[in-house]
Amino acid sequence: MKTRQLGRNGPNVSAIGLGCMSFAGAFGPTDEATSHACLDAAWEAGITFLDTAELYGLGLSESIIGSYRKQHPDRFHIATKGGIRIDENGRRIDNDGAYLRSALEGSLKRLNTDHVTLYYIHRREQDRPIEELIDTLQTFIKEGKIGGYGLSEISPTTLRRAHAIHPCTAVQSEYSLWTRSPELGLVQDCARLGVAFVPFSPIARGMFADQPIQRQDIAQKDFRNENPRFMEPNYSDNIRQIAKFQAFAQSRGWTTSATALAWLLHRGPHMIPIPATRTAAHLAEWQNACDITLTSADMEEIERILPVGWAWGDRYSASQWVAPEKYA
């Protein structure tokens, strides 16, 4: 596995990380043993960067990683996220310093560590001054609890304001061949400022696979069940378009998912995608994406097959749209 630097001042990590949302059952049932087997496979493949969050299963994903760390404490750089509070009052964005400290300390305890490489603000609280938020994160850095801070689903203007106060390590947003909105300034600002860009859902929540998720196989509690891109008639239209991309990948001898990741890696050296899976079998389908070299002709053909804006349906439903910043 090739490596890339996690921001201008961060460590070198694997060019492809592992998203651990699936460990908490967001995309179907799983268990600790299966997740641990996936982590073993990730390590054997050269993956050194894990991404999780307090929100994933209300700490379950972090706890599974923490139990793995009891046996293998030094295997991975870990990124986690906080800033979304869920309590008796429901779900809300909370970037208050005291709350973030409590959230971070809870994450560290579940992860069985006293330090994480990267701590993201999962969503930004719009009414709280960015200066206050960055001051809180700077304090965590000085205390040695986090190596650097990140911001998730933000606008380019928020990145520039935050980075001017203290350098940002990474920005995480959905970015793939079916979600291209970060190209409207965010990808470019990250490159200019030396900030890593970490695309989540880079293989389109399982759609960029040799055998894409079938609509009838999506469980009632699966995140995708109420996602517009997985609802008819959008789902069928998306499947038909993706079939052309599958044929392209097959003609080159590559898996569909590895080709989708290779496209992202080709977008710039600051790209560190984090495909999510809960099984070693699915990880094997894309773990060699770094070995794919896309020519300019390949990139042009992919753009012809899946041009900007081709996907049918919004990337979130109204209930799933939890405060990503809009900037275009």
Task: Give the active site residues.
Answer: 56
Q: Are strands 12-14 and 3-5 parallel, antiparallel or unpaired?
A: antiparallel
Query: Taking a C-beta distance cutoff of 8 angstroms, is the pair 177, 261 a contact?
Result: no
**Cα distances (angstroms) measured from residue 272 to each of 54, 119, 196:** 21, 16, 7
Q: Where are the alpha helices (DSSP H) in the chain?
A: 32-44, 60-69, 97-111, 130-142, 156-165, 186-193, 234-252, 256-265, 280-286, 296-305
SS3 content of the chain, % helix, strand, coil (to 5): 40, 15, 45
Give yes or no for a cis peptide into 275 (omega within 30° of 0).
no
Let me know how long the chain is: 328
Residue 39: count of CB within 10 angstroms of its CB:
25
- Cβ neighbours of residue 129 closer than 8 Å, sequence gap 6 or more: none
Residue type, 292: I
Residue 8: count of CB within 10 angstroms of its CB:
14
